[in-house]
Amino acid sequence: MRATEGSYDAIILDIMLPGRSGFSVCAELRDAGVWTPILMFAALD
Q: How many domains does the chain have?
A: 1
Contact status, residue 26 vs residue 15, Cβ threshold 8 Å: no
pTM of structure: 0.83
Three-class HEC string of the chain? CHHHCCCCCCEEEECEECCEEHHHHHHHHHHCCCCCCEEEECCCC
Contact status, residue 40 vs residue 31, Cβ threshold 8 Å: no
Give the model's pLDDT for residue 2: 82
- Domain span at residue 32 reads 2-41
Q: Please state, in angstroms and rounded to a whole number, the distance separating the CA atoms of residues 26 and 38.
A: 8
Q: pLDDT for 7-37, tens place per residue?
A: 999 999 999 988 999 999 999 999 999 999 9
